[in-house]
Structure formats: structure tokens, C-alpha cells
Chains A and B, each alone.
Chain A
Amino acid sequence: MARNDLQGSLDLLVLKTLSQMGELHGYGIVLHIQRASDDLLSVEEGSLYPAVHRMEQSGWIRSEWKMTETNREAKYYRLTPAGQKELIKAEKSFEQLVKGIRSVLRYA
């Protein structure tokens, strides 16, 4: 559970970002999460990469080196079908987590 909380939510954010944006590099993912959360969430830039690598190794995402619009080389990530399934699972479990925490908070 403890592991699922923190790591799981970072995984969820990355998977969701990729499912919305299609294809994105690491820096882009950081910017998107920040922007989409109205600056409420800021991903620690360094800690993103181990998570992304693990997801790639687990077969949830695929990567490819490409050029950005500003002509810089960057590694672009995209969701795989397995990642799609994982996203659905992660969303469900997150909703349950939120529900659970909310009911505990309301109990008093």
C-alpha cells in the first residue's frame, strides 16, 4: 500500500499524461503535469526517470529518439496496449484510495 501510494501515483500521472498527449519526452511530461494541475503538483525532475525506465522495462511504454520542434534530440515515450490496461487499473485503484481516505476524513 505504502509503495502503491507514492510510486503508484507518479506512474498514474505519467500514464495519464501519455494517454492524453500521445507522445511526449520526459521534460514535456514534467511541464504537462505542472500545467494540467495548475501548478499544484510539481514532479521532481530527477526522480521521474527511474520511474519512466521501470515502466518501459515492464512494457507499459515504448520509447524512441526523435527531434523536437526546436530541433533538439529527445527521447519520446508513448503508451503501449499493456500500458493502456495498466492505466485503467491504476485509475481504479487510485479512485479507491481517494474514496478510502475521504471516508476516513469524514468519519470524525
Chain B
Amino acid sequence: MSIFRRIVNSFHRSKLEQDIDRELRSHMEMRIADNIAAGMSPEQARRDALIRFGNRTAIREGITAVDAELIFDSLWREMRYAMRQLRRTPAFTITALVTLVLGIGANVVVFSVVEQLVLKPLDVPQPSGLYSVAHATHGYDNQSYPDYLDFQNKNSTFSDLAAYRIQFAGLAAGSAAYKCWYYRVSGNYFDMLGVQPAHGRLFHASDERGPNSAPYIVLSHNFWASHFDADPRVVGTAVHINKHAFTVIGIAPSGFHGTEVFIWPDFWMPIVNTPDDEGTGFLSNRAMHNLFILGKLKPDVTVQQATDNLNAIARELALQYPATDDDLSARLVKPGLMGDSFGGPARSFLAAVMVLAFLVLLAACANLASLFAARTADRSRELAIRLAIGSSRWHVLRQLLVEAVLISVLGGALGTIFSTALLRAFTRWQPFPEFPIHVTVNPDARIYFVALLLSVGSGVIWGLVPVRQVWAADSAQVMKSSAGAPLNFRSFAFRDLLLCIQITLCTLLVTSSFVALRGMQRSLRAPLGFQPQGAILADTDLHMGGHSDKSSTMMQKRMLQEVAGIPGVSAVGIIDERPLGTGGSSTTVYRQGTTDFRASNSVFGAKYFSISPGYLNAAGTALLTGRDFNWQDNAGASKVAIVNETFARALFGKMTALGLRFTLGDKAECEIVGVVENGKYDSITEPPRAAMFFPLEQNPDSDTTLVVRSPLPPAEIVPELRNVLGKIDPNLPFTFHIWPDALGFVLFPARVATTSLSVMGLLAAMLAVTGVFGIAMYSVSKRAKEFGIRVALGAQPFQLMRSALSRPVMLLLSGSAAGLLLGSIASQLLAQIVYQATSRDPLVFAAVMATMIILGLFAMWIPAHRALGIHPAGLLREE
């Protein structure tokens, strides 16, 4: 125990020093008293005592240094001994290291991502007290500008509230033009966050004096460095954004990238200015929800108080503006993940992965514990001898623990090195070239601390397993028996239990990953409502060419005509924003004859798109009944719409919807002329939702996506397409995609989920193999002599196999069964994250069983071979 006392001493330095002082003083006093008794004057007596004694401070330091020296000495001795022991058994050491590298590495990676996305505050100068104001209902986190102003002016709990939205525009400086992502922010945005400019100035609340009063932009440091050569003279120059003139007034500090964790915008613009023909109408329209609100709490205000405060304002607004603010409500969430719309699912998914990673580590610990217990049993003679010659049980145990922690820390260090390399690669990775998305994960001190904690923790967990063995060891008994003595049945049973736990955990992980994979496979096969194969997309925004929404239709008609004329193009159509893209709007739908247009009177909300005649054909969307639009469905004709099945059923039940009418929030009535199949509009995982399509001429939009279907390979058709479209307007930038590739963005979450679950499953499978292999190998080698005798007496190979492997097989089967059971329970949780994940899938059940059996056979192959290859004569010679 003395090592702990010494360590404790080093923390209680002051108490130790007091004690030393007291002792030294008592020594001095006794010497002085003796000196006086010998006839010195008190003065002389004191001087003599001091001279004999020497420097008191130096002595005190000498005494405390002894402690440190002793700690270091004994630890060093034990470490060196542990190193020697580990070098003597390289197989064990390497197995343990690999297991730990996998287990700890997986946890470090997962924890780093969790830290970056969930734990870390926003990367702004003053991140404390910042919250995003989302709606109380999940999934609708955008707010309208007038509501933002009311929240801002009437609240008493926030020191400030800022609004922002993220948009896309063409920026032209001199002769160069770029496609940019940018923030439109309220004037107080930078001041609320405490951001200071790197050059020039930032804009403030005082710059906003009504619509289009502040034609300024602030460039991001990255964009300035990469597109303007970091030239400070750019401040004060004019640039054109979608052909509107703006002045660059400043450069944001390097490292500041707005208030979303992933997105790195190119510049910031005051929200009152608009660089497109959407106009500034949204500044006064309560029905247009297109902003995120970010607020900074006053000191000493709780989240609950602030939420109550905002909700009270929301109720007032609902009374005042029933048509638009009927369902207004507020909920504060951690900022940085698009309100809560990305944050919610991301958080629950990460929590699930973290649990899985932790299970992998637990399985690794169980694996190591059984290996270590076996190793301790092998060393029982050595340990018994040490106990017999007077070593304390505690000392022996400490030695074992030092070995375990040493190897854990080594494994943890290696695991951390690997995972940081992985995270570096992850940070450099840009998943979508067309979006400014970076996931920056920089391992910091907190992560290293967690890695150390995990290493030491797991070392102690599996290092403590042999405690019982050492404590119960009867040295006389152990030394009497020879090394090849029959196994102690009870300690073997304990190791069996560990292996069983390990296999259970591994099966659980394998089941989870199969369930996720299967769900992913199913959701990929779910009908999308269009046929992406063989279609090419050409995206543009006519605003970038200076066209208005109204004049867009002419352009779009020309494009359709020209493209349809390209040889090899079988169909072409236009949609404003493609389904399963990143945009698309929804609006509320009312029954025909509704007079009170408050939101709570609506039937449902529906996605809406503007399409050209021929789009349905080009996209491969099946028209179930009715007709496609034609060019006679123009602004002068009566309003028509095509709806999907879900829409028709929700509004009219089993009645045929053709010819029936519904009403929109702007009181316009629409007649249904066609019904199309259901589709996916926002995400692969969404439940069926209502959608409607309007003719382009009745609902003009500058956003243009040409869907071009052709049997020719994309490499042939794209250059031709580029050529033809360039002739119509050379200034209009187009982005071309092959439609299946463009779906990467919506498939991304499911891909990430499936990949991470598969990696966990793979790790678990590897652990299961090493665990079963270890224990089977051990039992064969321990019983080699017995087998030799049995072979000599004429045992058949099958009998040998049965006795050698029956126990591992039993363990494998019972562990797998338990794991499968747990897995099916856990899958119900998984189903909330991975779409269409279900454990009641016979295929998953069969796959898990088959995997475990194959893994088991694989793991037992070598031990079984060794058991069969035992040669009695050889064994006898060895003994």
C-alpha cells in the first residue's frame, strides 16, 4: 500500500511539510536545551544548533524529494519487470495490443465527432448563452422576418437576437465570376457574436434603414485569401452579386465561418438587401418562414425563462395575426446544426454509435480479461513461488495490474495515433464539391484525456480479473502440482463466462449492423417517384443572368425547344427544384370554400413544385390518371394542378380527385387535372407525404433544373447540352449532374450510418474470432498430454474434436443466441435512426446466425487442426 501513501503524500505536500517542520523544530529545541545545560549562553546555544543543523529548507526539500524518488523507483522497477514479461509472450502482447487499438481507436474517433458536433460551443468569440430559436414542433425551424422583429423587440430575456439565412448567388469581381454560398444576416449579427474584422469594417444594426439600404458585403477570410490573393485593397471596391452592385466593406477574421458547424460561407450581406428578384417582400410577410434566429441570453436568465418569455410573445402574436401566426411557438436548441432540423437526428444517431463503440470496447475488455486470466493461470507457479518467498498478495496483484495498465496505455496511445490520422483525413474530406461543407474535427486535449481515461480504465477492468485467482491461490497446493496438472474447473468456468459475454456483445453488434445494412438496402429500393437512371440534370438560376421570375418562362421555353432538338435526347422537361435536392417549398392546403385561412384550419401542408409540360415524362414519374400540363395552362387560363396519390387520398378519400378543387393559403383555387404516383421529396426516409405540381406559366420560378433523358452516355450528351445552352445565354452558369450521382447528398446520412454500423460490426466480428480462437487454442494446448494418451489408446478424430471443442462451440452458440435476442431488442431503437430497420427479418436472423457460425468455424480451425495433429510419441519425448 505504501505506493498509494506516497502518491497521497505528494498531493498533501503542505501537511507533510508541517510535520517535517515540527520534527526539525523539536530537534533544534532539544539541542539548544542541551547546549545551555552544557553552559553556553542562550545566544551561543542557538547559533551552535543552527550551524550543526545546516540549511533547514534544503533539508525539507531533501525529505520530500525522497518520496518522489521512491515512487519513481518502485514504479520503474515494476514497469521494467512488466515489459520483460510482455516481451516473453509476444503472442499475448500483440493480440492484446491489436484488440486495444481497435477498441480504443473506435471510441476516440466516435468521441471526437460527438465532441465536435454536440459538446463544443460554436466557434465564435463569445459562444456562451447562444441558442437557436426553433419551433416547438420538431422539423420546422425556420422563422419569418416580422416574427423575428417582434421576438427581438418584445422579449426581456435576451441581450440580443440575430437572424440569418444561407443562400447561393453568382459573384462577379472584375472579369471573374464565382458561384458563392453566403449568409444574409441581421445588422446586429457580428456585434452579438463579438466578431472583429480582420480588415475594413463589419456592418452594424445602425446600417439597416429599410429595404435595400445597405448594399455591403463582408468577405470570409478563406474566400478573400483564395479568390482575392488576400489583398487588403479589395476593401472599398465594388462587386456584382447576381448583377446587383455591392461594396466590400471588410474582411471577417480568419477562422470565423458563421454560425453553422459544417458550412463555410464566402461572404455575409445585410438581410435587408436582396440580390435577386425574390424581392424584399419577405421582410414584411409573416407567412414566409426562411430565417434561423440566434439569441444570446442575458446573464442569469435560464433557458426555461427565456422559452416561456418567447412563447408568451408567440401567443400574443397568434391573437394579433391569427392567419399566419396561429401555430407560432418557440423552443431553444443548441445552435450550429440548422436549428434543430439536423441536430435532432444527428444527436440521437451519435448517441447510438457511441453506445455501440463503447460495447466494442467492453467486448475487447472481456476478450483481454479471459486471455489474461488464462495467462495468469499459466503463471500460477511463478506467482505461487513469489508468494511463498514472502511477497505480499497485494504486491503480486500490483505487478499484474501494472502489466495490464501498461499494455492498455500502449494500446490506447497507438489507437489514438491511428484515430487522429483518420480524423485528419476526415477533416480534409469535402463530401460534396458543390456545397461549402467541411467537417473539421481537431483532436484536442479533452480527446487525449478521454483516450487516456479509457486506456487506464479498460486496463484496470481486465487487469483486476485475476484478483480472485491470486487471492485464492494456495501456494503449497499450486507448487505440488506439475505444470500440466488438470485444469481448475472453477476458474475455467469464470473464463467461459467472460467469453460468453464477449460473444453476446459481438453478436449484438453484428446484428445491429446487419439490421442497418438491410434497412439501407430497402430504402434504396423504395420507389422514389422518378427514374434517376439515364437522366442528366442541368441546374441554373435565371436570376444569375439578370432575368426576373416573370421573364423566366420565355427563356425556359426556349431552352426546352433547343434541347429537345439535340439528337439522342428522348425527353426533356423543367422543374424549379428537383425532388430530393436541397430545396423545395411547402405550403398549406385548404378545402374548397374555406374562408378563415388560419393555419389550424388547413387540411395539411404539401410540397409544391413548378414543372413544364413534359417534365413528368422526362423524369419518369408515372401519371396515374388525368393529363399532363400543356402550354395552354398559362397565366390567363384557370388554375390547374397535378397532385400525388397521398394528396388525393388525404383530401378526397376514395373519390376520384380528377376535376375536384382545393384552395391555397393565398385564396387561389386550383382544379386537379392529374394524379401522379407518390415519391420522395426531402429525404429517402420520409413517410409518404402530399405533393402538388403547378404549371410553370402559372407559377413562374427562376430556379431551373432541366431534366434530360437520353440513351446516350453522359460523356456524349453533356458537351452538346453545354454548347446548346451556352448559345441561349452565354452568361448563365449551369451545373451538370448525372441524376443518380446527384442523389448522393440525400443518401449521405444513411450512408454514414450504415458505414459506421458496418465498421462496428466488423470490429465485433474480429473480436469474436480472436476470443474464440484464444480460448479454443488454450484448451487444446492445456490438454495436449491428455489427447496424446487418448490417441495412443485409439481415440477417433471425431471423439477428440468433440472433447476439445465442445465447450467453445457451446459458448459460441449460447452467446450468439443471447446476442441475437438483445440485438432484436436494440433494433427497435435502431429503427428510429436507420430507415426501415427491423429485426423481424428472417434474412437478418439467418445472416447473423450464418456469420457467427462461419466466424466460429474460422476461429476453431487451427485449434482443431492442432488437436488432430497431436502425436503421442512426440509428446512423450517432450515430457
Spell out A's residues near B (CB within 8 Å): 25-27, 44-47, 49-50, 53-54, 57-59, 68, 70, 72-75
Closest to A42 in B: B52
Bound: A68/B70 CA distance, A? 31
Taking CB atoms, residues of chain A closer than 8 Å to B62 are 46-47, 49-50
List CB contacts (< 8 Å) of B31-59 with chain A: 31, 33, 52-56, 58-59
In this complex, the member of B27, B59, B67 whose beta carbon has the largest number of chain A beta carbons within 10 angstroms is B27
Given contacts A25-B26, A70-B33, contact A58 B53 (CB under 8 A): no
B27 touches A57 (CB 8 A): no
Given contacts A46-B54, A54-B66, A57-B6, contact A68 B24 (CB under 8 A): no
B586 CB to closest chain A CB (Å) equals: 75
A50 touches B63 (CB 8 A): yes
B23 touches A45 (CB 8 A): no
B382-393 to A contact mask, C-beta < 8 Å, 1/0: 000000000000
Beyond A45-B31, A46-B62, 7 additional contacts (C-beta under 8 Å) are A46-B58, A49-B59, A49-B62, A57-B5, A73-B26, A74-B27, A75-B22
B27 touches A59 (CB 8 A): no
Taking CB atoms, residues of chain A closer than 8 Å to B20 are 49, 53
Say whether B2 faces chain A, with CB atoms less than 8 Å apart.
yes
Taking CB atoms, residues of chain B closer than 8 Å to A53 are 20, 63, 66-67
Bound: A58/B67 CA distance, A? 10
Contact check: which of A26, A45, A57 meets B70 at CB < 8 Å? A57
Bound: A92/B216 CA distance, A? 91
Taking CB atoms, residues of chain A closer than 8 Å to B29 are 72
27 A–B pairs (Cβ distance < 8 Å), ordered by A = A25-B27, A25-B30, A26-B27, A27-B30, A27-B31, A45-B52, A45-B53, A46-B55, A46-B59, A46-B62, A47-B59, A47-B62, A49-B20, A49-B63, A50-B66, A54-B66, A57-B2, A57-B5, A57-B70, A58-B2, A58-B70, A70-B30, A70-B33, A72-B26, A72-B30, A73-B26, A75-B26
Closest to B55 in A: A46
Given contacts A44-B54, A46-B59, A49-B62, contact A26 B23 (CB under 8 A): yes
Spell out B's residues near A (CB within 8 Å): 2, 5-6, 20, 22-24, 26-27, 29-31, 33, 52-56, 58-59, 62-63, 65-67, 70
Taking CB atoms, residues of chain B closer than 8 Å to A27 are 26-27, 30-31
Label chain B's interface by main secondary structure: helix
Give the top 3 A-B pairs by smallest Cβ distance, nearest first.
Answer: A46-B54, A50-B62, A46-B59
Bound: A73/B66 CA distance, A? 24
Taking CB atoms, residues of chain B closer than 8 Å to A58 are 2, 70
B523 CB to closest chain A CB (Å) equals: 66
A71 CB to closest chain B CB (Å) equals: 11
B26 touches A46 (CB 8 A): no
Closest to A59 in B: B2
Closest to B24 in A: A49
Taking CB atoms, residues of chain A closer than 8 Å to B5 are 57
Bound: A53/B16 CA distance, A? 11
Bound: A49/B58 CA distance, A? 11
Taking CB atoms, residues of chain B closer than 8 Å to A59 are 2
B54 touches A45 (CB 8 A): yes
B30 touches A68 (CB 8 A): yes
Closest to B56 in A: A46
A44 CB to closest chain B CB (Å) equals: 7
Bound: A73/B23 CA distance, A? 9
A56 CB to closest chain B CB (Å) equals: 9
Closest to A26 in B: B27
Taking CB atoms, residues of chain A closer than 8 Å to B66 are 50, 53-54, 57
B23 touches A50 (CB 8 A): no
Bound: A9/B2 CA distance, A? 24
Bound: A75/B24 CA distance, A? 10
Taking CB atoms, residues of chain B closer than 8 Å to A50 are 59, 62-63, 65-66
Bound: A45/B48 CA distance, A? 12
Closest to B54 in A: A46
In this complex, the member of B5, B23, B63, B65 whose beta carbon has the largest number of chain A beta carbons within 10 angstroms is B23
Taking CB atoms, residues of chain B closer than 8 Å to A25 are 26-27, 30
Closest to A65 in B: B22
Bound: A73/B58 CA distance, A? 23
